[in-house]
Structure 1
Amino acid sequence: MDRRSFLLGTSGILVSQILIGCNNQNQNQLKIQLLKGSIPGQVVNQFRKTLESGTKLNFVPINQINIAFKQLQTWQQPKEPGWERFIPFRQNQKTAPSDLVTLGDYWLKAAIEQKLIQPLETEEIKQWSALNQKWQQLVKRNNQGNIDPNGQVWAAPYRWGNTVIVYNREKLREFDWQPTDWSDLWREELRSRISLLNHPREVIGLVLKKLGKSYNTENIAKIANLETELQTLNQQVKFYDSTTYLEPLIIGDTWLAVGWSSDVIPLLSRYPKLGAVIPQSGTAIWADLWVKPAGVKKNDLQSRWINFCWQPDIAKQIIKFTETNSPIPTNIADADISKPLQRLLLNNQNLFNKSEFLLPLSPDTNKQYETLFKQMKNAA
């Protein structure tokens, strides 16, 4: 997904490797490849203190989720023939697979289909049974990567966010209103003043939500008024982009944008003129997950790390320092979250229930979304 190809902020974990004890090959060890900024350094240090002497930890931060996915693919490629090992200066030497890897939920189907990851052992994850059913349903998949209530558990979510509306308060002040829902994107004063994500599921999904439908609607050709609504919305849009959509908003070239909370939230404290809101009719949810690469041997440190991230006090720290939400109930206080972020980070159960993950669709349905989105953008 494009969101996960965007470089995230530099806050969070700052250390690439933490080694404990000597470099003994027989010692217990855990290697984690994680998205930079998705776990606070304080949390890593606290986890280290829970481990036995001689345990080796190796945390490898990456800037983009697509890098993690490509690494998963590389680990599953056939081993080189013996003679190729002696070719000097080879550029694609494999590294040993990590025990756990950060992956976005949108990539989960492909990772399962391509046999890049293996299921988790939920009997070793203490908080699993207490996890909200919505989260359990997200990671229960069949071998094709599709949602299956009887499927195996393929991932453990540790933080999440939303697709949000972000707007320039100063530009909208003269109209005496602030956006609260998707329907506000059709206001006349926003004509040619909006930037939308260059993503068919996100854009068509928000229109479906406005019409009272699901982001994961299968046969969109049967939705009355969908094409008309899309054509009208297109007249409001100045451009479509999934990486540089916030810069024009900051300089006033656009007045409103639709974007991912992981991109938007870090800017709110730097630019007080910007406001953000979760649409009241519900929105799309994204999640960062722990997955276990295929072929990696069972290690009790894997489940210990997941259990540690799911402790309420640790989940609070992940919320506070990475400015995201946690799948674990934490009862975090208002005072722990800065006021501009309270509406975005304090879990509103009603809004959460109205919101949806972008779940896998059939190839034919995906083609419908892509074709309709292309027609929308090409409309005069």
Structure 2
Amino acid sequence: MQADSRPPSSSMSRRRLLQLSALAGLGLVGGCGRGSAVQLVYGRGELPAAWAKRLPDPWRAQPVDGPEAVLKARSAALMQLGDGWLEATALPQWQPFAATESVAASELWEGLAPEAQAPSRLFRPEPAPALAYPWAFGTWLLVLRNRRELVARQGEGWSLLLDPSLREQLLLPSSPRVVIDLALRQLGLPPGDPASLADPRLGDQLGRLRRQAAAFDDRDGLNLLLSGRVEAAVLPSQRVLPLLRSDTRLSALLPESGSALWWNLLLRPTQTRELPPLRWLLQAREAPLISRLLAAGWVPPLRRELLASALSSWPPAVAALLYPPQPLLARCTSLPPLAPEQRRQLQSLWDRSAP
């Protein structure tokens, strides 16, 4: 057979080069492109851009539309979830954080505040290992728009939600569990005590609170408040605090009885062999990044002394909302996943209190 006499091509055509460049940009070819990226999957708006863009190669931050989509991301090496979604997951779905590079994973936990220890174990008792890294936390705040007379009565605490002038001018959280927590605090009942749910006053109090609400929507609640469609809202601190310096119409209160805590977590799925980028995780505690996170309302749950310098640049009243004083923080409680019987009990209470 006669050999092919055509000379080997020494270069690609311009069209082929353009095709490969386009594919590389989409991550569809191998090598150093995004096709070989290690993904941190997060809900859109739930991870600060200033931090995400510092992820080291080969990590990439991949936003998706909401927690449901995060949980469906089978290729993720890290997942971001709020603590309210822990009930939708199973413990075998996660594996512990591990050491990588020259940084020991223990450095992550050494700086955490005591309140962060239980969420890191997904609320299992000690000595269970840490399955989640709680990188941000906060409270629920009562936010008022142009209601200085109610601000002057802040000593009344969460009972302000029942003021007659707020009837159908109040927006409450979409989570029934958080609303029940508010009703417990109005009555002075310990939110974490199972006996509190059996108090005969709770059903009536919860019904009164629900009748005040124009809507139950904390996701779009800030927009409704800013547009003047409601005059008060109970919102997670992260969404409110960035506006307090610039919008003089708004006042935010954390009553002395405290509130539920919200947690933002990073979890490591069992199917991944990738080790978490621990140096990147630790950057969230360091200047100048820590100041940018605080300005966006994201507060790392670190020991108080580690945040003192960054908080000192804020007005004292706002700094106390970012990181409440210890006596007040001690009255704030996390909401661990519910056992089936607890879930049925809360559902029954919610159904009975319907307006």
Q: Does the TM-score normalized on the shorter chain lie above 0.5?
A: yes
Measure, in 2, the Cα distance between the counterparts of 1:302 and 1:248. Answer: 38
Quick one: which amino acid aligns to residue 296 of structure 2? T
Which of 80, 104, 107 is the matching residue for 2:82?
104
> Shift of the alpha carbon at 1:44?
4.9
Measure, in 1, the Cα distance between the counterparts of 2:325 and 2:131. Answer: 27
In structure 2, the residue matched to 1:326 is 300
Measure, in 1, the Cα distance between the counterparts of 2:345 and 2:77. Answer: 38
In structure 1, the residue matched to 2:118 is 137
Measure, in 2, the Cα distance between the counterparts of 1:344 and 1:129. Answer: 24
> Shift of the alpha carbon at 1:307?
3.3
Q: Is the 8 A contact 2:51 2:289 kept in 1?
A: no
> Shift of the alpha carbon at 1:372?
1.9
Runs of 4+ in 1 over 6 A off after TM superposition: none
What secondary structure sits across from 1:281 in the alignment? coil
The residue correspondences of 1:150-169 to structure 2 (distance < 5 A) are 150-169=127-146
In structure 2, the residue matched to 1:187 is 163
Q: Is the 8 A contact 1:194 1:255 kept in 2?
A: yes
Distance 1:174 1:103, change over 3 A: closer
Q: Is 1:59 aligned with 2:61?
A: yes
Distance 1:128 1:318, change over 3 A: farther
Q: Is 1:199 aligned with 2:175?
A: yes
Measure, in 1, the Cα distance between the counterparts of 2:63 and 2:106. Answer: 24
> Shift of the alpha carbon at 1:333?
4.3
Measure, in 2, the Cα distance between the counterparts of 1:365 and 1:276. Answer: 32
Quick one: which amino acid aligns to residue 177 of structure 1? A
Sequence identity of aligned pairs in percent? 23
Which of 233, 242, 249 is the matching residue for 1:273?
249
Quick one: which amino acid aligns to residue 228 of structure 1? D
Q: Is 1:245 aligned with 2:221?
A: yes
Distance 1:245 1:332, change over 3 A: same
What's the TM-score, normalizing by structure 1? 0.72
What's the TM-score, normalizing by structure 2? 0.77
Q: Is 1:233 aligned with 2:235?
A: no
Which ranges in structure 1 are unaligned for 5 or more consecutive residues?
1-16, 49-54, 76-96
Distance 1:60 1:198, change over 3 A: closer
> Shift of the alpha carbon at 1:154?
0.7
In structure 2, the residue matched to 1:305 is 280
* Of 130-139 and 230-239, the range deviating more from structure 2: 230-239
> Shift of the alpha carbon at 1:101?
1.7
Which protein is bigger by CA-based radius of gyration? 2
Distance 1:189 1:268, change over 3 A: same
Quick one: which amino acid aligns to residue 277 of structure 1? L
Quick one: which amino acid aligns to residue 80 of structure 2? T
Deviations 1:279-326 (A, max 9, x none): 221101111111111111143x533333333x4436623533432211
Measure, in 1, the Cα distance between the counterparts of 2:47 and 2:253. Answer: 24
Measure, in 1, the Cα distance between the counterparts of 2:174 and 2:82. Answer: 18
Q: Is the 8 A contact 2:79 2:267 kept in 1?
A: yes
Quick one: which amino acid aligns to residue 125 of structure 1? S
Q: Is 1:31 aligned with 2:12?
A: no
